[in-house]
Chain A
């Protein structure tokens, strides 16, 4: 039997992947899919279930390799994975948070009374017999508190030590452990240490542990908020899907949904996966993915995307992408990946963190020896306290956290606005930009030529003119013709029958409609056919100013009017370009269009420089030229035609990608079509980089100042020594501060300048 093989492997000795297989029609397919899967290196077993149209694969092969093998055998495949179990994770985090607070409370309950007693001089001196017993009892109590509240730190330090590693736990365990051991020696053998050095530090050890736990709890709270963006995206995933199988509709868990399944979506429900509508019609709110507020109408043949909300009608669609292949899953993956990348600015901190803890241990040893050999009496006490304070104050976490935590919040924030930043390096580059290069078509303009004006002459009206033009253009394939027929369609004008249609290359068209000869085309056509066109000279000049292309319509040799076609400028392009100027950026437009048309567009939106009549393949070279002149260049394009230029630029922005988020050539994908997205992306990058710099500066200064002070540098100068408990408080707060600073990015406002 096919299913049995997979169950021989326990979860311990093998790794399983479940695939949904598409395109299987017969039992014969089973063996060819199985053969294809077994041929992948690393596969130990593969079994296909025809009824469920799934495959179970064991071994070390990557899912991508398996899917590629199935596709090579002419079937379709996708990995089946469940929705992430966010609730279980949050519950575990909550439990951990409460545990940290309990540990804090226990340590504080012992440490605080001791500390107060010490301050107020209520505790007996060690030199008396009763005092010694008191201190031994305190030592035992402290040990109990340390075992309960810091057991995990000591265990971690020991485990790390065994694998030649040292971490945060190592420092805390060494610092508090040394304090306890020294205090115990003093309590048991007071005679072994000089009388001036007879001081126990139990309360310091316990209070430091309370502070460390409290700091960890605060940090946990603060960090929970940093991953809010990802949690929101995961929340868009539907948990179940209503599938039509064997003639009936059933709700099944999301993870069981396979390729080609027919899925019903009712009003108010989320679309579970990506697919194509096969029946019904509806409007869908896609704003959660694209940031575009307008609902979109869907009819059979249209694509729907998982995570969007069905607003009105009920419809059926066929699942085409499931599991990790859906747009939503890929967006989540992209954001996660970007959140884990680090710009160059963070590398120094990484190098420092790698050697940080052993270095601090060395500094502590040296501090101890210096005080022991050269310090004032009681030398031993000073040596122990300063070494302990050095170990406690050093905080590798703040350093290690400085960059990634800001990236995490910044990239997540951007994603909320449909701005997908591919890596941390793009953030850093974006903050250095001097020049933005905009591709004209589809970036500054809509990318869809449309009729902008209809100018009828006497005896004609707009509709009659447009109707006639659309009739003669119905058979034409010219892009300008498409604009005319589309305009007629929106005005519900139907085309008349056309005879003797003739396309005149580079001029226009000629045809007979209703017994009349109709000419539709450019000035050249009119001049050749002897149509008097001088009467519209003024309008023509005005149209050129508007970057529109005029087309002339003549009936029986007499000019009837003009239809102007232009690629309309996006309504917010001008405002967005003004914002770019505000950021101090030079804005360059690059286009294959004629100089005059380009100049007219540039004038209207406030562009600084135009590079016109550029062949598509030369755009990358233009970017290189700008870079050679010292500019740090952002290139903005649609990501398809200008991929080489996007890749060449310091930061490439693909605009209006919609749900096609996997555009590889761009560093940043903007799902929305507005140029404001580019400005927002740059602004959020700058804010994130600023935040990283603050964090790094804070972390370096903290350690750079804190460690020498802890070592007692101020003592010879000012006679001041840092209390180890204050060092503990500073350490506990340092990483909380870094996380809180990063969290400020969550309140970063976009488009404030546009408002």
Chain B
């Protein structure tokens, strides 16, 4: 019994490391149309968006969470931020300058998403 619980504990620790740090969620490929990003329950959905470097991209944020946490979306590397209205779509236009990952977060960094430019 005791060995089993220890084994489970170690396995759980390994899973946490693998799931949250080593693996990545499936990406949503962006096209010419705006990508709707729902802001609710502490998560951007989709949270990972694939786009092309150098091409304009519209992220249409739809904020459903009225708490202040969801109010701002900040793209640190692009020096871009927006204040999201509640319940209404808000378009953020950006052009990833070069291939790479551009993280966007809320002010407190609990909401977390990224644009992956190829």
Contacts and interface: CB of A to CB of B under 8 A. Distances in A.
Most buried by A among B21, B55, B79, B86: B86
A13 B33 contact: yes
B104 to A, nearest CB: 11
A61 B89 CA distance: 17
A216 B40 CA distance: 16
Interface string A163-179: 11111110000000000
Contacts of A14: 33-34
Given A95-B66, A396-B110, A163 B43 contact: yes
Interface in A158-201: 159-169
Count class of interface residues, chain B: 35 or more
Contact of A353 (B17, B41, B66, B108): B108
Contacts of B110: 167-168, 353, 396-397, 400
B47 A41 contact: no
A340 B32 contact: no
A665 B76 CA distance: 21
B21 to A, nearest CB: 6
Interface in B15-39: 16-17, 19-21, 23-25, 32-34, 36
Interface string A483-521: 000000000000000000000000000000000000000
Given A160-B42, A400-B109, A401-B108, A92 B66 contact: yes
Given A166-B20, A372-B5, A223 B56 contact: no
B12 interface: yes
Given A85-B85, A362-B16, A164 B42 contact: no
- By secondary structure, the B interface counts as mixed
Nearest to A90: B86
B9 interface: yes
A336 interface: yes
B66 A96 contact: yes
B87 interface: yes
Contacts of A164: 19-20, 23-25
Interface residues of A, number: 67
Contacts of B72: 340
Contacts of B101: none
Interface of B: 2, 5-6, 9-10, 12-13, 16-17, 19-21, 23-25, 32-34, 36, 40-48, 55-58, 60, 66-69, 72, 74, 76, 79, 81, 83, 85-87, 89, 91, 93, 95, 107-112
13 contacts: A44-B32, A60-B34, A84-B85, A155-B41, A156-B43, A157-B42, A159-B45, A161-B19, A167-B42, A353-B110, A355-B21, A372-B9, A397-B108
Interface of A: 11-15, 41-42, 44, 59-63, 65, 84-85, 88-89, 92-93, 95-96, 152, 155-157, 159-169, 216, 219-220, 223-224, 336-337, 340-342, 350, 353-355, 357-358, 361-362, 365-366, 368-369, 372-373, 396-397, 400-401, 404-405
Of all A-B residue pairs in the complex, the 10 with the closest CB atoms, nearest first, are A400-B108, A340-B81, A96-B66, A156-B41, A156-B42, A167-B110, A358-B20, A163-B47, A92-B86, A159-B43
Given A159-B42, A159-B43, A163-B48, 11 more contacts: A62-B56, A92-B66, A165-B47, A167-B111, A168-B42, A168-B110, A340-B74, A340-B107, A368-B9, A372-B2, A396-B108
